[in-house]
Amino acid sequence: MYFNNFPTIDYSFLSGLRNVNLVDIFRSVKFSKKTLNSVEIFDTYIVSDGDTPERVADQVYGDVRLYWLVLLSNDIIDVNSEWPRFSETENDTFTTNYSGYSLYFNEYMDIKKGDYVAKRDASATAGVSNEFGVVNHYDPDLNKLEIVNHNFSTLTTGSTTQGASLDSFYVFREVTKNSFETLTTNLNSSGNDYHQPQRIDTLANSVVYFKDAGRIISPLTEWTSASYSPTGNILHSTNGKVNGKRTIARKYLEGRESDLADDGIVTVTYTDELPENVNPSRQIQVLRPEFVTDVVNEITKLVNNTASDGSRSVLNYSESKYGA
């Protein structure tokens, strides 16, 4: 279907003894980098085990012939080497790599991979216990610390909003060898060097993303009144406080997944979609169906009129219109 839009050229073989009409495959079209990064026209899609570009096209557009549009939307040329693949070893390594904890703080911190998280023990020297972990990943939209390597004996999980009695923690960063700064100092009016998370999950059961009608949505999406609108504003909360605004993130940190579910919001954890989430490269993007006709028409125009032989034209997005 992709090459159906391309012009043909008469090729002469055998010193002109034979002329053959062939598709001019030396022309090509691609999205501009700015367009590929546009959240207005692309949705995120998680490739499942066994998915092919044809299957994704069928799922999203109801037409396997639009497989080329899936590839174009991800700037994929070689399907064999660039299409996301699933390895069975991902299942084997899941228990090891996702046996830690996720800590969610109400306040934003400048957390980096490699920072240390130590459990508070009032009876220990300076209140710092010998139980600690190392930050493997930090999600600023959820103020979420992911800890894989740790020696915590056990941690209570749940949300303080729902009555969970959670431990408090210090977060340290090594500035120079054996010299640390405390990142949890004065996070709130208490003036303490330690801080209590609003929620703790086991890492395997912690949220990775939220979905609405099959589409991944920002945790900072606004929650208006008692309902959720998928076209609502994206709210970057005041002073980094997750619960300073009415967002999906706030609902989750408060342990109100039932409210999310009631409005059709799916909370996806590492365990829920193991194959997709163990390998981040499984995330691709797909052009929203409402833009398909415009794109196909523009490609046809580009390869037949605008693009010169052997050239590549670039599709740019502006106010729902495409142009070279």
Tokens found for residue 151: 């020696």
Mean pLDDT to the nearest integer, 281-288: 85
Contact, 237 vs 220, CB < 8 A? yes
pLDDT at 172 over 70: yes
Give the pTM. Answer: 0.56
pLDDT number for residue 323: 40
pLDDT number for residue 238: 45
Closest residue by Cα to residue 261 from 304, 311, 211, 194: 211
Q: What is the CA radius of gyration of the chain?
A: 25
pLDDT number for residue 80: 75
Contact, 6 vs 303, CB < 8 A? yes
Mean pLDDT to the nearest integer, 288-304: 83
Contact, 130 vs 116, CB < 8 A? no
Would you call 320 helix, strand, or coil by DSSP? coil
pLDDT tens for 218-228 read: 888 877 655 55
What single string gives the DSSP state of each residue in 244-274?
GS-BHHHHHHTT-HHHHHHTTEEEEETTTTH
List all residues 6 or more positions away from 126 whose beta carbon is below 8 Å from its beta carbon. Answer: none
What amino acid occupies position 311?
S
Residue whose tokens read 């299942």? 91
What single string gives the DSSP state of each residue in 93-107?
HHHHHT-SEEEE-SS
pLDDT tens for 37-65 read: 777 888 888 888 778 999 999 999 999 98
Would you call 66 helix, strand, or coil by DSSP? helix
pLDDT number for residue 96: 65
Question: How distant, in Å, are the alpha carbons of 44, 166, 198, 205 from that of 157?
Answer: 30, 7, 10, 10
What is the Cα–Cα distance from 232 to 224, expressed in whole angstroms? Answer: 8
What is the Cα–Cα distance from 211 to 213, expressed in whole angstroms? Answer: 7
pLDDT number for residue 235: 61
Query: Over the range 250-266, which residues count as b (16 or more CB within 10 Å of their CB) and which as e?
Result: bbbbbbbeebbeeeebb
Tokens found for residue 297: 């028409």
pLDDT tens for 105-155 read: 888 788 888 999 999 988 877 788 889 999 999 988 888 999 988 999 889
Q: Please indicate whether residue 144 or residue 31 has the higher confidence score (pLDDT).
A: 144
Q: Which helix (H) or strand (E) holds 130?
A: strand 128-139
End-to-end CA distance of the chain: 21
Q: Phi/psi of residue 91, each to 5°? A: -65, -40
